[in-house]
Structure 1
Amino acid sequence: MQEKVLPSDELGDKIREAEACFDRRRKSLGLILGPALGILVYALPLSGLPEEAHRLLAIIAFIATWWITEPVPIPVSALLGPVLAILFGVISPAKAFAPFANPLIFLFMGSFMLATAMMSHGLDKRFAYAILSMKWVGSSPTRILLALGLVTTLCSGWVSNTATAAMMMPIAMGLLLAIKDMHAAAGKGDLDLHQYKFATGLMLMAGYASSVGGVLTPVGTPPNLIMIGLLEQLGAVKVSFFEWMIWGSVAMVAYFVIMFVVIKKMFPADVDYIEGAEEMIREQRSKLGPWRAGEINSVIAFAVAVTLWVLPGFMAMALGAGHPLLKTYNTYLSEAVVAMLAGLLLFLLPTNWSKREFTLSWPDAVKGIDWGTLVLFGGGLSLGSMMYVTGLSKWIGVLIVDATGAHSQLALVTTFAVFSLLMSELTSHTAATNMVGPLGITVAMSAGLSPMPVAVAIALASSLGFMLPVSTPPNAIVYASGYIPITKMIKAGFILDVIGIFFITIPIVLYLVTWVGY
C-alpha cells in the first residue's frame, strides 16, 4: 500500500509555531481569567448556599480555569486549591491536606514503581515487540492502536482502572519507541514523539480504555461498587454480579467502539504501512536475547500485584459480594496495599546478590515516580471532599433538579448522568460518585421511581470523565507521559463525553436496565 505523504519541514515548523502561539495566549488569558472568574462567582448572590460552600465554588471556578488554560503547571494549581480553601476559611488544614495521604495516592506510587522497574530492565520493550509480532497486528498503526485498546479494556474489567493504566503505560511507551525505530529504519529520520499525533492517540487509548473497561463488572471501578452499596443501603435494592455485567458488557463494547473511532480519526498515524517493519521487529526481538534477572523479577512483582488485584473479583463471583472472607481480604489487602507490596518487593529481589544489587534502587524509584501526578490527584480528591463536606454538591444537585423539573425517569437519568459527568471532570470519579450518588437515589425515591436506573447512570457516567487529567487516575497517569497536550485531551474528551452520555449511557439505562426488571 502506498504511504501517505508527510508534511514538509516548513509546514511542520509553521504548525508548531502556531500551536506555541496559541499556548502562550491561552496561558496569558487563563492567568487573568481564573482569578477574575473566582471573584465573579463569589460576588454573585447565590441564595441557599452556605458561606463556606460559596467560597469553595469561587475557588473551584478559579482552579478549574487554570487546569484548562495551564498558566502554571497543573500540579501547582492542584496544590493551590486546598491552600486557598484554608486561607478563606472553608476548611481546616488537617482536613484539606488529608486527601493527599489517601490510599489511592499510594496505589499510584506502587504502580509507578512497577512501571519504573519494567522500563529500566527493558520489560516494556519485550512486551511491546511481543504485541507487535502478532500476525494480525503486523506493522499497521491502526491495528497496534486496536490491540492495545482491547487488551487494556478487558484487563480493566477485572483489575482497577488505575492499576491497568499504570501497567499499560510503559507498554504503550515501548510501542511508540518501536514505531520510532521503524521510522528510522525506513529512512524517515528521527521521529519527535512529542509532536507526533499518533503518540497522543496511543497514550489516550491506554488511559481511556482503562476507564471504559471498568464498567464491565462491579469490581472494575470504585463507582460501580459505591452505587451498588448505596442502592442496598438507601434503596434496599440488591444487584448481583451477573445483573451488573448484563448492562456493563453492552456499555463497555459501545464505549470502546466509539472511543476507537474517535481516537483513530483525531490522531491518525502518518502512514498506513511501514515497509520492512515485520523483519525489523523480528530482528529487534531477537536482539533482546534471553530473559535477564531484572526482567524476571519485574514479572514476579507484576504477577503478584495482578493476582492480588484480580483475586477479589473471582472471590466475589464464587462466594458472593458480601461474604466475610472477601470483606476481610479487602480490609487487609486493598489495591493500595497490594501496589505498595509489589513495589517494595522490587527492592528485595536481587539481580546481582554478590554486589547487593536489586531490581529497583531508590534513586531510580525517585526518578520514576511522577510526583506531580500524585500532587494533582491529591488536589482533586481534596476539592471533591470539600464539596461534599460544605454541602456544595447537594446545593448544585438540588439546583439542577429544580431548574430542569426532572421528575420523570428519563429526566432524572439524563440530569444525574450529566451532573455526574460534570462532577467527575472536576474531581476524581470516586469523589464524584460519592457526592452525586446519594442525591440521585434519594431524589428518585422521593419521586416514587425506582432508584436503579439513576444509580446505574451515575456509575456509568462517572467513568466517562475524559477531558482533564484530574478527572480519573488513568487520565492523570497517561498525561504524565508528556505526549498529551491538555487541549487535545479536552477536545477528544468532550467528544467522547457527549456521545457516551446521550447515545450510549442514557439509552442503555432506560431500556436495558428496565428490561432486566427495574
Structure 2
Amino acid sequence: MDKMSQEALAVKRAEQAFDRKRRTIGLFGAPILALLVFFTPIAGLTLEAHKLLAIMVLVALWWITEPVPIPVTSLIGPTLAVITGVVPAGTAFAAFANPMIFLFMGGFILAKAMMTHGIDKRFAYWLLSRSWVGSNPRRIFLAVGLAAALCSGWVSNTATAAMMFPICLGLLTSIKEMFAANGREIDLHEYKYATGLMLMTAYSCSIGGVLTPIGTPPNLIMLGFLDQMCNIHVSFFQWMTWGLIAMVLYFIIAYIVLSRIFPADVERIDGAEEFVRSKIAELGEWTRAQKNTVICFGVAVLLWVLPGFLSIALGGTSPVLKMYNRLFPEAVAAMAGALLLFLLPINFKRRQFTLTWSEAKEGIEWGTLILFGGGLAMGGMMYKTGLSQWVGDAIISMMGGEPSAIAMVAIFSVMALLLSELTSHTAATNMIGPLAITAAMSAGMDPIPVSVAIALSASLGFMLPVSTPPNAIVYASGYIPITKMIRTGVYIDFIGIACVTIPLAIYFVSWIVH
C-alpha cells in the first residue's frame, strides 16, 4: 500500500470513529439538554415559545450530530411542535407546501434531464475544446474550473463534481503518458498539478452554486426565510446580480491560490486536445432529446430572468410587471420548464417523451426538499410564537446593543462558514438563518445583507473532505493530501468572506442611508 493510500485509510478510520462518537453523544445528549432547557425558567418567553426553544435545541443538535438522518430530524421538529401544543398541524406543516419547494423541485427535474441526456458533458467538453485553451496546463486548469462553476449554477454541485471527475482523470492520464513518452515516470499521487486540478474541480463546483437561487440549497433557504419572516421577496434576477459578483470573486481567489500553490511544471500537455476531441466525437450528433432539454431549460431561464429586464425597461411599479409576477412567479417558471420535459416527444409514435417519471424522481433530492421545508417550518414557528424576537434581542444584547452592519454580517458569515465545515451546509443555514434575520430586525437593520452573506458563506466549505460532497468525491482520487486541502481551504474560506461579505454590508448600508 502506497503512502497516499495509507494516509487516506487513516483519515477514513478517524472520520468513522469521530462520526460514531458524535452521533452517540447527540442521540442521548440532545434530548437531555432539550429537557433541561424546557424545565429551566426563562423570563420573557410564553409557554409556546419556551416549548419551541426546547424543540429547537433538540433539532439543532441533531442536525449537527446526525444520530438520525438530517431529513428525519427536519420532520421531528414540526411533529413535536404539534404534539406539545405549540402550533396546530396546519401551521406546523404549511411550510412543506411553500412555493420555494416547487422552485427547487423544478430545478432538480431540469438538472436531471440535462444529466440524463448529456447536456452538462457537452458544455464541459465544448469549453475545453476552445482554441484559447489548447494544451496549455494553466488554461486547462482555468477551463476545468469554469466548466464546473458554470454547470453547478444550474445542476447539483455533487452531480457536477461526479461529471467533472472522470474528465480530470482523463486529462491527468494524458499528462502521465506524455511524461512516459519522454522517459520520465511520475506518480500522480505526488504530482502538484494533479492535486491542484482536483481541488479546482471541487471548489469550483461549490463556487458555482452561488450563481443562482437553485444552485445550492442555502440560497433558497435564506430567500425563503426572507419571504416568510420579513415578507421580502428577492427575485431570481436580483439574486443572480449578487451571485454573479460573488461567484467571480470566489473563482478568482480560488484560481490564484491554487495555481500558485500547485503550479504546472510543463508548458503544454501533449494528448490533452486529442483526449477532448475523442470525447466530443463519442457524444455524436445532437439528439432530439438533447434539443428538447435545451428548449425546456431555456424556457425556465427566460421566465426567471424576464422580470428583471421588465423592471429595467418599464419600472418596478409597472402594471405589466406586477401581472407577470402574479402569473409567473419563480416556482411556476421552474415547473413550466420541468413539465415541458414530459410533453415534448422524442418519438411520438412510440409515445416516448424527453423525460420519464422514473428518471425524474431519481433526480429529485427528496431529503433536501424535506430539510428545506423543515427549516422553513421551524423558522416560521419561531416568528409566530415570538421566540425569534426574544433570540434576536438576546443576540443584539450580547453584541453590545448597537452592532454595526459590517459586524453583524461578518459574525454571522463566520458562524455559517464554520458550521458548514462540520455539518451539512443546508442544516447550518437552517440553524443560523432565522437567528441572523431576527437579530438584524431587532437592531433595526435591513435583513437582506446578512441573509445574502450567510448563503454565500455557507458555500465556502473547502477545508475538509466531509465539508461538501464535491470535496469528498475528489479526495477519493487519492491525489489530495488532507493537509493540502486544509491549508488551501483556510486561505480561500477567509479571503472569500473578507472579499464578499464586508463589501456587501457596506453596499447595503450606503443604499439604506441614501
Scaled to the shorter chain, the TM-score interval is: 0.7 to 0.9
2:343 corresponds to 1:348: yes
2:390 corresponds to 1:390: no
Give 1:50 shift. Answer: 1.8
C-alpha offsets along residues 203-249 of structure 1, whole Å, 9 cap, x if unaligned? 554344433677xxxxx98968998999999xxxxxxx99x97x998
Give 1:89 shift. Answer: 1.7
User: Residues 229 and 361 (structure 1 numbering): CA distance in 2 closer, same or farther, change over 3 Å?
Assistant: closer
Give 1:39 shift. Answer: 2.4
Map of 1:251-270 to 2, 5 A cutoff?
Answer: 254=249, 257-258=252-253
Q: Which residue of the partner structure matches residue 146 of structure 2?
A: 147
Matches of 2:471 and 2:289, distance apart in 1: 23
Give 1:283 shift. Answer: 0.8
C-alpha offsets along residues 351-394 of structure 1, whole Å, 9 cap, x if unaligned? 11221111111111122222111111111111111111111111
1:134 pairs, out of 130, 134, 145, with: 130
Matches of 2:231 and 2:89, distance apart in 1: 34
Q: Residue 463 of structure 1: SS of its match in structure 2?
A: helix
Q: Give the letter aligned to residue 72 of structure 1.
A: V
CA contact (8 A) 2:225 2:376 kept: no
- Residues matched between the structures, number: 467
Matches of 1:248 and 1:340, distance apart in 2: 22
Q: Which residue of the partner structure matches residue 377 of structure 1?
A: 372
User: Residues 298 and 15 (structure 1 numbering): CA distance in 2 closer, same or farther, change over 3 Å?
Assistant: same
2:440 corresponds to 1:440: yes
Q: Which residue of the partner structure matches residue 338 of structure 1?
A: 333
Q: Give the letter aligned to residue 175 of structure 1.
A: M
Q: Which residue of the partner structure matches residue 361 of structure 2?
A: 366
Query: TM-score by structure 1 length?
Result: 0.73
2:37 corresponds to 1:41: yes
Give 1:33 shift. Answer: 2.7
CA contact (8 A) 1:212 1:252 kept: yes
Q: Which residue of the partner structure matches residue 16 of structure 1?
A: 12
CA contact (8 A) 1:421 1:461 kept: no
Q: Give the letter aligned to residue 176 of structure 1.
A: F
CA contact (8 A) 2:391 2:435 kept: no
Q: Which residue of the partner structure matches residue 479 of structure 2?
A: none
Matches of 1:459 and 1:325, distance apart in 2: 29
Matches of 1:341 and 1:309, distance apart in 2: 11
CA contact (8 A) 1:457 1:506 kept: no
Q: Which residue of the partner structure matches residue 64 of structure 1?
A: 60
Matches of 2:89 and 2:470, distance apart in 1: 28
Matches of 2:264 and 2:56, distance apart in 1: 40
Q: Residue 351 of structure 1: SS of its match in structure 2?
A: strand
Q: Which residue of the partner structure matches residue 307 of structure 1?
A: 302
Q: Which residue of the partner structure matches residue 280 of structure 1?
A: 275
Give 1:131 shift. Answer: 2.4
CA contact (8 A) 1:397 1:419 kept: no
Q: Which residue of the partner structure matches residue 117 of structure 2?
A: 121
CA contact (8 A) 1:464 1:500 kept: no
C-alpha offsets along residues 392-427 of structure 1, whole Å, 9 cap, x if unaligned? 1111111122333333xx535524664588699787
User: Residues 467 and 206 (structure 1 numbering): CA distance in 2 closer, same or farther, change over 3 Å?
Assistant: closer
Matches of 2:156 and 2:41, distance apart in 1: 48
Map of 1:111-510 to 2, 5 A cutoff?
Answer: 111-137=107-133, 142-144=141-143, 146-148=145-147, 151=150, 164-166=153-155, 170-182=159-171, 202=201, 205-211=204-210, 254=249, 257-258=252-253, 276-407=271-402, 411=404, 413-415=406-408, 418=411, 440=440, 443-444=443-444, 454-455=446-447, 457-466=449-458, 483=473, 504-506=500-502, 509-510=505-506
Give 1:115 shift. Answer: 1.3
Q: Residue 155 of structure 2: SS of its match in structure 1?
A: helix
CA contact (8 A) 1:200 1:483 kept: no
Unaligned runs of 5+ in 1: 1-5, 154-163, 215-219, 234-240, 445-450, 470-475
Between 69-78 and 343-352, report the one with greater CA deviation. 69-78
Between 337-346 and 53-62, report the one with greater CA deviation. 53-62
User: Residues 433 and 128 (structure 1 numbering): CA distance in 2 closer, same or farther, change over 3 Å?
Assistant: same
Q: Give the letter aligned to residue 52 of structure 2.
A: L
Matches of 1:296 and 1:378, distance apart in 2: 33
Map of 1:59-98 to 2, 5 A cutoff?
Answer: 59-98=55-94
Across the aligned residues of Structure 1 and Structure 2, the Cα RMSD in angstroms comes to: 4.8
Between 365-374 and 508-517, report the one with greater CA deviation. 508-517
Matches of 2:401 and 2:122, distance apart in 1: 53
Q: Residue 290 of structure 1: SS of its match in structure 2?
A: coil
Unaligned runs of 5+ in 2: 178-185, 190-194, 214-218, 418-424, 462-466, 476-481
Q: Residue 166 of structure 1: SS of its match in structure 2?
A: coil
CA contact (8 A) 2:78 2:93 kept: yes
Give 1:124 shift. Answer: 1.8
Give 1:288 shift. Answer: 1.0
CA contact (8 A) 2:207 2:460 kept: no
User: Residues 491 and 31 (structure 1 numbering): CA distance in 2 closer, same or farther, change over 3 Å?
Assistant: farther
Q: Give the letter aligned to residue 364 of structure 1.
A: E
Q: Give the letter aligned to residue 168 of structure 2.
A: I
User: Residues 120 and 165 (structure 1 numbering): CA distance in 2 closer, same or farther, change over 3 Å?
Assistant: closer
CA contact (8 A) 2:453 2:501 kept: yes
Matches of 1:169 and 1:347, distance apart in 2: 25
Query: TM-score by structure 2 length?
Result: 0.73
Matches of 1:35 and 1:442, distance apart in 2: 30
Matches of 2:211 and 2:285, distance apart in 1: 36
Q: Residue 46 of structure 1: SS of its match in structure 2?
A: coil
Matches of 2:156 and 2:11, distance apart in 1: 33
Q: Give the letter aligned to residue 155 of structure 2.
A: A
Matches of 2:49 and 2:386, distance apart in 1: 6
User: Residues 81 and 510 (structure 1 numbering): CA distance in 2 closer, same or farther, change over 3 Å?
Assistant: same
Give 1:274 shift. Answer: 6.8
User: Residues 393 and 111 (structure 1 numbering): CA distance in 2 closer, same or farther, change over 3 Å?
Assistant: same
User: Residues 396 and 390 (structure 1 numbering): CA distance in 2 closer, same or farther, change over 3 Å?
Assistant: same
Matches of 1:34 and 1:357, distance apart in 2: 51
Give 1:306 shift. Answer: 1.0
User: Residues 114 and 420 (structure 1 numbering): CA distance in 2 closer, same or farther, change over 3 Å?
Assistant: same
Matches of 2:187 and 2:116, distance apart in 1: 25
